[in-house]
Structures are given as structure tokens and as C-alpha cells.
Chains A and B, each alone.
Chain A
Amino acid sequence: MSNIAKIWAVATKEYTDALKNKVFLVFLFFLLFLISVSIVVASFDFESKVAVYQNALIKLKQSGQVVENLSEPQFFPLQLLRGAIEYLEIIGAILAIVLGYLSIAREKGNNTLQLILTRPISRLSFYIGKFLGNALLLISVSGIVFVGITFVVEVIGKTILTGPQLFRILLTGGFTIIYLLIFFSISALLSILMKSLPNALIVSFVIWILFVLIIPQIGDTMDPDNQVPGGLFNSLHIEKANQLLILEKFSRYEKTRDSLEQTSLAKHYERLAFALLGIKDTYNGKSLGFIFHDKIGDVWWISLASIFFGIAGGAVFVKKQMLWKEE
């Protein structure tokens, strides 16, 4: 049996094992449910904005006032995906943590690793097989999620997505896989390194809370425009260009806040996905060339982190003596 065949055998075993695992399936269906709900909520939110606009328009017309200043809410179907991306960022990461944990816990907990290592397969091939199997699984998960997203957006938004829009969804799906692989590798790495599997899981969750929820939350809360409901500048009726002019004096604060957010890989994924899908107004309608030029830092961050943790997991798995049974 060639090395590639051995890796493939481990990968397919890993893939089918995960599909039989209740925990993984629970999280997968939960994620699909959440994403569908988020799109439904976003569409009703948009409908509500349109209704508010129309009511205001009627009232202004009836009272004989000018209606030119009132801007009609514009429908951009990909903007319905804001909640979906946030759920992928938050719950998708848990799913990846679960996969990484289960992948190692199965072998450590059942003492199967000792048996496998007596067979003619190297540790590296075994790890690559596991990584490949889970990467394929995450590609399948991402595929299901993004096909589902496209379907729900088309049905709820009563629109047919164009080729370029579908391509943007495809690109976002690709970066989602890279992002999820980071959490898979971190969780697998900790499960290899730590003697107690439950502790490895808890530490993985702590990392998840810190980098997915807390750091972005701190950055978001420190945003001066988020200190007042509706935005400070909006309440003062200051236009975007003038806002930037005023904020120039506070560049050090903004730089510190941005640097804090930069330490979160989840924020890099979010910024990239929001730009690709035009969820952030600044990037809505802009070419992919413009977006990648502006977001190349985010692309590098998540790609390098994914490669780093993937290699680190492999290196530790090859080097570490872990033939003990779980505590």
C-alpha cells in the first residue's frame, strides 16, 4: 500500500467517523438552522425598514413637505448574509473545535493510537490523513452551508443571484474553510499536547471566547461611534467626510483600537467576508481587485494562521509521545 493510499484510507475513515458522530451532527444542523434563521431575520428587518420609509414618505407627502432628503432603503441580497457570516464566525468555529477535539480524542480515549502505530504507517502520514479527512469534511460543511445560503437568499429575497454574486459567495466559502481550519488545528493541537482531554476542550473554548467574542467585542465597544445608540456622528448630523476630518485628531486612539481588533483572527475573517459580500457599505459595488487590494492583510492573516497551526499540529503529533490513556 503506497503512502498516499494510506493517507487516503485514514482520511476517508476520519470523514465517515465524523458523519456518524452525534456531537458533530448536532452542531452541523444547529449551524444550518441558525444561518437560515439569520437570513429570515435580516429579510424581515429589511422589510421593516422599507415599511418605515414608505410610512414616512406618505406622511411627508400628506403634510406637503419635501421628500428629496428621504433616502429609500436599497436591497442588496448579499447583505442579508451579515448574520450568517457572524454565525459562521462564532458557531462555525465551535464546530471546527469539536472536529479537532474528536479527531484526537477518539484515538487517545480508545487507546487505538497504540494499535495504529504498530502498523506500517508513519505518524506524519497518519496526521496528514486526519487533517485531510477533516479538511474535506469542512469543505463539505462549507459547501452545504453556502449552497443553502444561496437557496435561502434567492427564495427569501425573491431574486436570482448573478454570476459575479455567486462567485463572491464561492470566494467567501473558500475563506470560511481556511478560517475554520485554524480552529480545527488549534483544538487538535491542544488535544495532542494536553494529558486531560476535557481540559484541552475547555482551553480550546477559552481561546475561542477570547479571540472570537471578547477581543472583537472590546474593539467594537471602544468605537466612539458605538457609544451612542444610532451613532454619535449621526446624532450630530455630521457627514462621513467631515467625520474622518474630526477623527484625524484621535488617530492614536483609533490605531490602538484597530490593533486590538487585528489580534483577533475572527475579525480578519469577518472584515474580509463583509468586504467580499458588500455587507460593509464601503465595499458594496466595488470590484474584487479593489477589495483584495484593500483586504490583502486579512487574507494573509487567516491564511498564514491556518498554515501555521496546521503545521504545528503535525509537528507536535510526530514528536510527542502520547501513548498514555486519557486521564
Chain B
Amino acid sequence: MSSITTIAIQEVKVLFRERVFFLLLGIFIVMTLVSLSIGLIATTTTTSIYNASVEFLQKSGANNIPSNPLSALPALTNFRNVIVYIFLIGSLLAIVMGHRSFIRERKSGVLSLLLTRPISPKTLFLGKMFGICLALLSIIGVTFAVSVVSSLLLPFQHLVLDDILRLFIFYALSFFYLLFFAVLGLLFAIKTRSESLALFIPVCIWVGISFVLPGLVSGQTPTALLNPVTMSQIAPAGTFFALMQQYLGPISIGWHYTSFSSQLLGNSLQAVQTNIGGILWENINKTATLLFAVVICLGLCFYLIRSYTVGEGDIYE
């Protein structure tokens, strides 16, 4: 067994022992089920309100009443709250996962001990990354399975093959989004001298990615950005927003994640009518930016960890 595999297995074992893995898994499953319940309740009630409104309008003698905007949306739309939960909770927990993965070794003095053994910093880093990826993949995989099974258990909410494929792509995208934040947590856990600062800086970046950049690009307030219906709305007209979209749009990965995910989960009639191939092609730049951000962070981690010497990285707080 290579050193990388040993470290990766050890990383997963620690995640199990610290209950971080189960905490994450539990939160993701609860998020999925809550999302499905909220989606179902809200859609059913809104449809009833629509019917009551139509009745009221017909009594008032109104003609040309628009059709129910929700009736054309697929069952998959009930999962749209999951986007918000992964965007908010998932990414923050991924930071904690990446942070703890390296801070643990620095605080306990194990890092110095490891580096006296025939293990290079590169091997240590790769092992940790494989461990984190494995844990994230398992969590995402189980959540995907729970989503499909829960939809099968509900009447009139069954997902068709196209829906399942969309859901699969959404979770694959979510994996890379979470991986980015886990690597960000790891990056500052490697670089920063203080344990608290190593957690607070990625949290600041998380706020920037989740609220500031999408706010500048879309002109929406933080609360509106958390509403799955309005989160992907286009920005108001004007030079300022046009400039923001031109210069900040391409790097706004939080905005990319939510808008791409909204399309995948059929958040609007237009998104439902577009086939998966079309959606993927339309969002190829967004996916590339996210992957590029992951690679850049990984590269930075790799560069920083290579310069480690015995005893240098320990934290004595």
C-alpha cells in the first residue's frame, strides 16, 4: 500500500472518529428531505392560492387569466432548495473539513513527526486530498441516492430518467463546488500561523463568493440571493451592472454555481424546455471557471506544503 493511500485512509478514519463525516452526511440528508418537503408544501399551497385567485378573478368578470406558472415545472423543482443549502451550509462545512484536516496535524505536533519519516510533503498533501475527496464523494453519492429514493416514495413526484440525469449533474457540480471550499480551508490551514485566522479568512472569502460577488453581478440583496426562485434572476439594466457582469461575472463562482444549478433543476419554464446538452453547453464557461479555481487552490496548497520544513508548521496556541 503506498504512503498516499495510507494517509488517505487515515484521513477518512479521523473524519469518522471525529464524527465530522457523520455530521456532514446527516446534515446533507436532512437538507435534502427538508428541501423536498418545503418544495412540496409551497408548490401545493401556491397552486391552491392560484386556483382561489382564478375563482376570484372569474367572479370579477376578468378574462385572459394567465395559466398557473407552476404547473409546467417538473417534480425536480421541489429539490431547488438543496442548491441554497449546499451553497450555504455545505460550502461552510467543507471549509471546516479542509481546515481541520491540516490544523489537527499542526496543533498536535504530528506534522513535524511525519516529516521526519520518509514521507514527502507532496505525499502528505496528496494523501489528505484523496481522503477529503473520498469523504465528499461518499456524502454527495449518498445524498443523490436519498434524493432519488425519496422522490420515488412520494406520489406524483417520481423523477423521470431526464430528471435523474439532471440531478446527477447537479450533484457532480456540487462536489466540485464543495471541493473548492475544502481546498480553501486546507490552504489557509497550511499557510496561516494562527488557528482562528486560518478559519476566519476562508469564511471571509466564503462571504465574498456567496454574497458580495453575486450581489454586485446581479444587483440582489443577500436575502434575495437565498431564494431559489429569485437567485438566478438577471441584473437590472444600466452601465454599472453591465460593467460588473463584464468584469466580475466571469470570476463569480458562487453566482455560476447557483445559476447553473437553477437551470439544471428546472427552476423556470425556459430551463425545463432546454435539453441537458444545451444547458451543459451554455454553462461550459462557468464549469471551467469553477474547475480552474479548484486547480489554482490545489496548486497553491501544493506550493506552500512543499516549502515546509520539520518543526516550522507547528502551532503552539
> What residues of chain A have their CB less than 8 Å away from a CB belonging to chain B?
22-23, 26-27, 30, 34, 37-38, 41, 44-45, 47-49, 51-52, 82-83, 86-87, 90-91, 94, 98, 101-102, 105, 109, 198, 201-202, 205, 209, 213-214, 216-218, 220-222, 224, 226-229, 232-233, 235-236, 238, 242, 245-247, 249-250, 253
Contact = CB atoms under 8 A, between A and B. Distances in A.
B197 A23 contact: yes
Contacts of B145: none
Interface range, B side: 35 or more
Given A48-B219, A52-B237, A83-B215, A226 B226 contact: no
Contacts of A228: 46, 69-70, 229
Interface of A is mostly: helix
Nearest to B103: A198
B49 interface: yes
B229 A226 contact: yes
A45 B219 contact: yes
Q: Identify the 4 closest CB pairs spanning chains A and B, nearest first.
A: A48-B236, A48-B238, A44-B240, A227-B46
Interface of B is mostly: helix
B30 to A, nearest CB: 11
**Which among B56, B65, B222, B227 has the greatest number of chain A C-beta atoms within 10 A?**
B222
Given A26-B204, A220-B226, A83 B221 contact: yes
A229 B233 contact: yes
A8 to B, nearest CB: 27
Contact of B196 (A23, A87, A247): A23
Contact of B92 (A52, A109, A209): A209
Contacts of B88: 209, 213-214, 217
Contact of B207 (A91, A105, A205, A246): A91
Nearest to B88: A213
B195 A41 contact: no
Interface string B43-69: 101101110111011000000011001
A100 to B, nearest CB: 13
Given A41-B216, A47-B238, A250 B84 contact: no
